[in-house]
Amino acid sequence: ELDPSCEGPILQQGTSLEIPYWLASALVKDDIVSMELPKAYKETFRDVLKADANVVDLQKTSKYFYEYGKLVSFIYGRHAQDLCNTITQTFIDRYRQISDWAQNQNSEEEIIVKLDFLEKDLMSRGKIAHLELTKWLCHGVGKLGTAQMVSNHKKRKLIAEHFL
């Protein structure tokens, strides 16, 4: 039963349902249903992202904003290019801020909860890279030595020159 509020066994034409992506993509591909864009990808929300993507709470809107947006663009032909452009520009706009937060070890939890899954992963990896760089800069790499192969080669060369 797709719609528990439906009184009969057959859905009426024009009924609006939320269904999983895998089902929606198959039904749209076969022209069985038409798809309405999810709220996070509608034109009004895209306008907000174009205005200032950094203030948007993507976690609240869509936990997998970028990944799901890419999938939605595959099956939503009419606005696919505009949707892809908006998603790409949103990432570009938010990347610098995420990179700055990754270098600040005191990043607030309230900042992190506004990020989608990809952004959280990027920030986490950025923090690790920043810590490793700082550690390397503070401690250095130690004393560099001559490789065993190079020193053996020099010895052989000296011995060969000595006998000639």
> pTM of the predicted model, to two decimals?
0.71
144-156: per-residue pLDDT in tens? 677 777 777 766 7
pLDDT value, residue 154: 67
For residue 138, tell me if it sits in a domain. yes
State the Cα–Cα distance between residues 53 and 46, nearest whole angstrom. Answer: 9
Is residue 140 a part of any domain in this protein?
yes
| Chain mean position to CA 118 | 3
Please indicate, yes or no, if residue 30 is contained in any of the structural domains: no
- Mean of pLDDT values over 27-43: 84
**Domain span at 88:** 37-163
Rounded mean pLDDT of the chain?
A: 83
Phi/psi of residue 39, nearest 5 degrees: -50, -40
16 belongs to a structural domain: no
Structure confidence at residue 128 as a pLDDT band (50, 70, 90): very high
Given a cut of 70, whether residue 142 has pLDDT beyond it is no
- Judge whether residue 3 has pLDDT over 60: no
CATH of residue 46: 1.20.58.2050
Cβ–Cβ under 8 Å, residues 35 and 75: yes
> CA 99, 104, 108: angle at the middle one, nearest 5?
100
Question: Domain for residue 15, yes or no?
Answer: no
Q: Looking at the 3D structure of the chain, how many domains does it have?
A: 1
Q: Which pLDDT belongs to residue 6? A: 62
Confidence (pLDDT) at 77? 72
Give the distance, in angstroms, between the CA of residue 3 and the centroid of all CA atoms in the same chain. 33
Read off the pLDDT of residues 41-53 as tens digits, 9 standing for 90 and up.
888 999 999 999 9
3-class secondary structure per residue, the chain: CCCCCCCCCCCCCCCCCCCCHHHHHHHHHCCCCCCCCCHHHCHHHHHHHHHHHHHCCHHHHCCCHHHHHHHHHHHCHHHHHHHHHHHHHHHHHHHHHHHHHHHCCCCCHHHHCCCCHHHHHHHHHHHHHHHHHHHHHHHCCCCCCCCHHHHHHHHHHHHHHHHC
